[in-house]
């Protein structure tokens, strides 16, 4: 009976191809918009997640300055006491649950090789930095402990720096000038690409902290301390331990606010992903409104269809159709119609999302759940908006209906 009705409704849809297509358009556009939005949105979320995990997972970053709320960047106020090597030493001596602890100071500095020059992010740090940031070398070696201690003029460079100066060539052993000092390249860093904010993470030069402090910064300050948690220790557990140790070495009594801020990159990652998820949801909801418009289109065409087929309804009722048979017939027709629109819309939406993800260089992330939801939702729209016209058809008086021209 139901199969019979589906066949019947497919036939009547086929009979009015143009009209059916125009009816479908609303649903097609609505579903395509929703699918495209949600797919692009989840691609963006994935991209943001990947970017943040490039910063290093399970990472705490300490910087001088007052904390500005949970997870947010610490406000840098001038009078603040910078971090110092004894803070790092205290952490190394007392902190348990950390895989790597590394100080770092950064500055944008002009780097020169031969006649070429480039402004790069130069970081002074130690050999634990690569471990803390989950960063690997493509070739060469990290600084040795003695180089770190002595502040020898050696450096590691990122892919962008290499390309600028050496093209595809091997940079190892070459001497570059950083500010007014020269340093020998001893290794090449693995490329990381751009962050979601458009920052080139490969335009970097790493050098021993003491070399940086002496020859570039001209002070003994430390901008950040990177602390990577080990596999067993969540960052939320590590954070209060770090705070205790630093309060102790920096002599800050528990009744005062600390003069340093600890950022939890995991929390930032969560906040960012939840922001993009919210955005995606909102865009999806806006697109959903167009689905509603599509539903009204379905209702309109079903009303026309019922009126046009009044006589047919009369015949069916006269030869023994129950009210519910007529109701089901038109409901199935509306549902089949909007399902069809939904399926076409999904195909179009996925294609759009595919194109967009190529253009935006984000991952193409179609979600089976979203597709199923769209199928279900378009069927539901057909049923809801088809119901009133179908009921109207089913309630017709057979005698009046038969007399209808």
Partner 1 sequence: MSAPLLITFDKVWKSYGEGEARVHALAGVDLAIRRSEFVAIMGPSGSGKSTAMNIIGCLDTPTAGTYSFMGVDAGRLDRNRRALLRNLYVGFVFQGYNLLPRSTAAENVELPLIYRGVAARERRELAMQALAQVGLVGREHHTPAELSGGQQQRVAIARAIVTRPTLLVADEPTGNLDTARTHEIMELLTTLNAELGLSIVMVTHEADVADYAGRIVRFLDGHVASDTLKAEEAA
- Which of these segments, 61-69, 74-82, 220-228, 309-317, binds partner 1 (CB under 8 A)? 309-317
Structure tokens at 15: 């009979």
The nearer residue to partner 1, 11 or 19, going by C-beta atoms, is 11
Tell me whether residue 220 or residue 322 sits nearer to partner 1 (CB atom).
Answer: 322
Which of 48, 186, 209, 321 is the binder for partner 1 (CB under 8 A)? 321
CB 235 within 8 A of CB 266: yes
Alpha-carbon distance of 80 to 65, in angstroms, equals 6
Task: Pick the closest to residue 302 from 401, 403, 384 (CA basis).
Answer: 384
Distance CA 72, CA 312 (A): 68
**Beta carbon nearer to partner 1, 210 or 316:** 316
Whole-number minimum distance, CB 374 to partner 1, in Å? 32
Contact 21, 298 (CB under 8 A): no
For the CB of residue 401, give the shortest distance to partner 1 in the complex, in Å. 10
User: What are φ and ψ of residue 366, in 5° steps?
Assistant: -70, 140
Nearer to partner 1 (CB atom), residue 271 or residue 304: 304
Nearer to partner 1, 149 or 322 (CB): 322
Site string for partner 1, 4-33 (x = CB under 8 A): x------x---x------------------
Among 136, 322, 372, 376, binds partner 1 (CB under 8 A): 322
User: Least distance (Å) from partner 1 to the CB of residue 403?
Assistant: 10
327 touches partner 1 by CB under 8 A: no
Side-chain half-sphere CA neighbours of 396 within 13 A: 30
> What is the DSSP code string of 82-139?
PB-HHHHHHHHHH--SEEEEEEEEEEEEEEEETTEEEEEEEEEE-TTHHHHTT--EEE
Q: Does 149 sit near partner 1 (CB under 8 A)?
A: no
**Beta partners for 225?**
62, 103
332 near partner 1, judged by CB under 8 A = no
In the complex, least distance from residue 20 CB atom to partner 1, rounded to whole angstroms: 15
Residues binding partner 1 (CB under 8 A): 1, 4, 11, 15, 311-312, 314-325, 398-399, 402
């Amino acid at each position: 009976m139901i199969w019979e009705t589906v066949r019947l409704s497919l036939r009547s849809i086929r009979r009015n191809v143009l009209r059916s297509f125009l009816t479908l358009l609303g649903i097609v556009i609505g579903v395509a918009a929703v699918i495209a939005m949600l797919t692009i949105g989840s691609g963006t979320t994935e991209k943001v997640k990947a970017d943040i995990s490039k910063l290093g997972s399970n990472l705490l970053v300490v910087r001088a300055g007052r904390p500005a709320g949970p997870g947010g960047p610490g406000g840098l106020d001038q009078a603040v006491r910078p971090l110092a090597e004894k803070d790092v030493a205290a952490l190394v001596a007392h902190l348990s649950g950390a895989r790597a602890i590394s100080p770092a100071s950064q500055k944008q500095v002009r780097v020169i090789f031969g006649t070429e020059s480039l402004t790069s992010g130069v970081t002074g740090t130690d050999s634990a930095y690569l471990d803390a940031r989950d960063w690997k070398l493509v070739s060469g070696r990290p600084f040795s402990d003695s180089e770190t201690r002595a502040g020898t003029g050696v450096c590691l460079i990122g892919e962008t720096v290499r390309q600028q100066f050496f093209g595809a060539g091997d940079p190892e052993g070459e001497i570059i000038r950083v500010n007014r000092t020269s340093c020998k390249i001893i290794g090449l860093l693995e490329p990381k690409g751009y962050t979601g904010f458009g920052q080139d993470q490969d335009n970097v030069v790493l050098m021993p902290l003491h070399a940086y402090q002496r020859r570039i910064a001209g002070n003994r300050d430390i901008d950040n301390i990177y602390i990577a948690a080990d596999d067993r220790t969540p960052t939320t557990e590590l954070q209060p331990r770090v705070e205790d140790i630093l309060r102790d070495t920096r002599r800050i009594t528990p009744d005062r606010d600390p003069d340093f801020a600890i950022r939890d990159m995991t929390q930032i990652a969560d906040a960012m992903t939840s922001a993009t998820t919210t955005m995606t949801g909102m865009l999806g909801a806006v697109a959903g409104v167009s689905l509603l418009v599509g539903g009204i289109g379905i209702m309109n065409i079903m009303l026309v269809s019922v009126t046009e087929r009044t006589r047919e309804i009369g015949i069916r009722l006269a030869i023994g159709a129950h009210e519910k048979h007529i109701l089901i017939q038109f409901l199935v027709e509306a549902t089949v119609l909007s399902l069809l629109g939904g399926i076409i819309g999904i195909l179009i939406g996925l294609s759009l999302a595919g194109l967009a993800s190529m253009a935006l260089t984000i991952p193409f992330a179609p979600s089976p759940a979203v597709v199923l939801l769209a199928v279900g939702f378009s069927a539901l729209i057909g049923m809801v908006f088809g119901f009133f016209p179908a009921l109207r058809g089913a309630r017709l008086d057979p005698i009046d209906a038969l007399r209808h021209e």
